Structure 1
Amino acid sequence: MAQKKAHEVDSWLKKPDPDVRIVLIYGPDRGLVSERASAYVKQLGLDPEDPFSSVRLDAAEVEASPGRLTDEAGTVPMFSDRRLIWIKGAASQKQLVEEVKHLSASPPQDAVILIEAGDLKKGAGLRGILEPAVRCMALPCYADEGRSLDSIIDEVFSREGLSIAMDARHALKAGLGGDRIASRGEIEKIALYCHGQREVTLADIEAISGNVAGVSVDDAVDAVLIGNAPNFDTAFTRLVGSGSPAFLILAGAMRQFHALQMMRAEMDSSGKPASAAVASARPPVFFARRKLVESALQRWNAASIARALERLQAAVLLTRQRPDLTEATARQALIALVVEAGRGRR
């Protein structure tokens, strides 16, 4: 199968198969998708800024210009042995899917096609085409948690000659969100603040950390989970008013609903009460949020969680198709979930 599990992706990117001609990097963590795409391009040894060896396309361009991707894939490179065709913003665009299907059946000899996509359903669209294909690869990117965050923290701090106290590590991880670029930026900021020191302390974290997951993001998402409309409106308005992208709230909501889905499945399969499911959750639920998550599990069943994730995925897709409507799209989708959570308590 031309796919890797989430924990296998980084090792594959360190030594990618040179015979692979179409690579799909997808998932809800846009920052991680972008970072891994850049890492793959670096391994290829092609200059993405060189117009003779690389071309960048948006999925919307492929959709609007039938045959464009096929033509680019068939173009013979002038000054290199391969051309890079880098496509961003992919989802379920019909024309893109059709051209990728055609190309996967007969992969280009002189080009590598790299596709960045959002969260894709298993067995459908681009995943359904590329995962079973020859000389193709599908790489998932999910929100950083647990060991993934630890590896980034260790990478950045060790590079700067810093160690980090255990209480500081816990505080830092609790404030990091589900976007790789935002998380790395926060860690880099702390490393710069602590330049010249030997250890990062809890006081340093408290002094400099802006909480990349965002207090307002957490407040907004938690209000969605339990159907608290006034708190949601206040948190959402404060967040977008500060200049933060509304997409972060959608990403945070997707991350929390995925966590709810796993806990709800545990409850339904084993008969555990909500408190036991929360207590045994991996990664663990921060103790200050446990009561809230238990309440959310009483409001959301498996079917309603699945509907919520579908609504959020549709909203994310629309924000990419119409960036000018991102705030309105996010607010509308999240308010609908607030209403559904409110109904769940009756």
Structure 2
Amino acid sequence: MKTQRGDIPRRLDTPDPAIRFYLFHGADEASSRSHATRLLKAFGAAKDAMEGGAIKSDPAKLADEANALSMFGGAKAIWIEPAADEIVAGVEALLEAPGAEHPTIAIAGALRKTSKLLKATEASPHALAHISYAPEGREYENIIEQLCREHGLAPAPGVVSRIAGMTANNRELARQEVEKYALYLGSGESDPVPLEDDVVDRLGAGTGDVAFFGLGDRAMVGDIAAVQEGVDAMSANGSEAITILRAMQRRIVMLAPMQARVAAGEPASAVISSMGRALFWKDKPVVTEMLMRWSAPRLARLGERITDLERRMMFTQLPAKSAIGEELLAVARIAQSARRR
């Protein structure tokens, strides 16, 4: 069966005993993995990894493993990642079996509507399929706020937005960040501990893909040299591209209402000052610069271009590194030539 987005928390926290196969799919694999981990916890089960290739070569193997005794006698859940149509024969055999002692959890990326695996899952009363869309804007910040509450943290104004920007809509990365701060501060659920900017400065994500999340900022202030240097430093396959685009989208969403106030006659400096701690102090100079270079119509067009580029990267074979490089350089040139207020 197919589950609805609002129904997924209940499905994960109180699993239906009749469901023996769970398929989490969609472009946001981090969210799919987070859902699967939450389900695993609800089952109180140990992860028993199984490769799709093994199921393809022996479709009966999945049903056999789902009914086999756990090596250590406890609960287990079969975990298949990545999952694709190659496992559909094994899944069909599992769903047609009289029952299953252990659940199976499969994580796939984006699947077409014509996917045999997706169709088989949605058609069975013993299976559940859920598509993961990346949370955005306030929805994503709500997720981070909930994570902070669960880990006994009371974030200062602006801190949640900073974590959201650093983790670029990656729910799993956000969870890791919050857990890191909670461990450092020794927080507890009964007495929330303040999470201030200085802790984020000291411990915040700064390696891997998230190190590139500020590259869009450099493009939006017209720093062509920094953009070129950043693009050159990217991996060959451009795996950081979506991180950069998501960060730019968040920046555009933040700038739009501020730019409306500037267009109405308020000085950019006054708009920045009115933001208080909701805007991290280190970001104030670059945000001021953006307000001077990006009018509301230009911001709207940029948002459309960024969204379109992300969509094409996710659903086509567009070369990510060259595509993001060309876009960032184009943005930087526009910003550099923009008439300053």
Q: TM-score range by the shorter chain?
A: 0.5 to 0.7
Whether the aligned pair in 2 keeps the contact of 1:25 and 1:140 (CA below 8 Å) is yes
1:3 aligns with 2:3: yes
Whether the aligned pair in 2 keeps the contact of 1:25 and 1:33 (CA below 8 Å) is yes
1:298 aligns with 2:301: yes
Deviation of residue 253 (structure 1)?
5.0
Deviation of residue 17 (structure 1)?
0.9
Deviation of residue 164 (structure 1)?
2.8
1:73 aligns with 2:58: no
Within 5 A, what are the aligned runs for 1:1-346?
1-5=1-5, 7-48=6-47, 54=48, 56-59=49-52, 61-62=53-54, 66-74=56-64, 76-78=67-69, 84-90=77-83, 93-97=84-88, 99-100=90-91, 102-103=92-93, 106=96, 109-110=99-100, 111-122=102-113, 124-144=115-135, 145-156=140-151, 158=152, 162-195=153-186, 198-210=193-205, 216-220=211-215, 231-238=226-233, 247=239, 249-252=240-243, 255=246, 288=287, 291=294, 295=298, 297-298=300-301, 308-314=310-316, 332-339=319-326
Q: Aligned to 1:309, what secondary structure does the other structure show?
A: helix
Deviation of residue 229 (structure 1)?
7.7
| Alignment partners' CA distance in 1, 2:43 and 2:141 | 30
Aligned counterpart, 2:339: none
Cα-to-partner distance string for 1:60-94 (whole Å, 9 max, x where unaligned) = x25xx63424332145424579874321012xx44
Deviation of residue 246 (structure 1)?
5.6
Identity among equivalent positions (%) equals 17
Whether the aligned pair in 1 keeps the contact of 2:234 and 2:321 (CA below 8 Å) is no
Contiguous gaps of at least 5 residues in structure 2 = 261-278, 335-341
Superposition RMSD on alpha carbons, in Å? 4.7
| Alignment partners' CA distance in 2, 1:177 and 1:95 | 31
| Alignment partners' CA distance in 2, 1:122 and 1:226 | 41
Q: 1:136 to 1:258 in 2, by over 3 A?
A: farther
Cα-to-partner distance string for 1:101-154 (whole Å, 9 max, x where unaligned) = x34762661253210112334564533442343221112333351211211122
Q: 1:47 to 1:299 in 2, by over 3 A?
A: closer
Q: Which of these two proteins has the greater Rg computed from alpha carbons?
A: 2
Q: 1:99 to 1:215 in 2, by over 3 A?
A: closer
Q: 1:246 to 1:70 in 2, by over 3 A?
A: farther
Q: 1:44 to 1:337 in 2, by over 3 A?
A: same
Deviation of residue 307 (structure 1)?
6.7
Q: Aligned to 1:166, what secondary structure does the other structure show?
A: coil
Size of the aligned set, in residue pairs, is 294
Aligned counterpart, 1:320: none
Whether the aligned pair in 1 keeps the contact of 2:44 and 2:75 (CA below 8 Å) is no
Q: 1:224 to 1:163 in 2, by over 3 A?
A: closer
Deviation of residue 335 (structure 1)?
1.0
Q: Aligned to 2:2, what secondary structure does the other structure show?
A: coil
Cα-to-partner distance string for 1:167-205 (whole Å, 9 max, x where unaligned) = 444444443322223212222222233337942223333
Instruction: Please report the TM-score for the alignment, with normalisation by the length of structure 2.
Output: 0.65
Q: Tell me which amino acid in the other structure corresponds to 1:334.
A: K
| Alignment partners' CA distance in 2, 1:338 and 1:173 | 23
Contiguous gaps of at least 5 residues in structure 1 = 49-53, 264-273, 280-284, 316-328
Deviation of residue 206 (structure 1)?
3.0
Q: Aligned to 1:17, what secondary structure does the other structure show?
A: coil
Deviation of residue 230 (structure 1)?
5.7
Instruction: Please report the TM-score for the alignment, with normalisation by the length of structure 1.
Output: 0.64
| Alignment partners' CA distance in 2, 1:214 and 1:121 | 27
Whether the aligned pair in 2 keeps the contact of 1:22 and 1:107 (CA below 8 Å) is no
Q: Aligned to 1:146, what secondary structure does the other structure show?
A: helix
Whether the aligned pair in 1 keeps the contact of 2:26 and 2:133 (CA below 8 Å) is yes
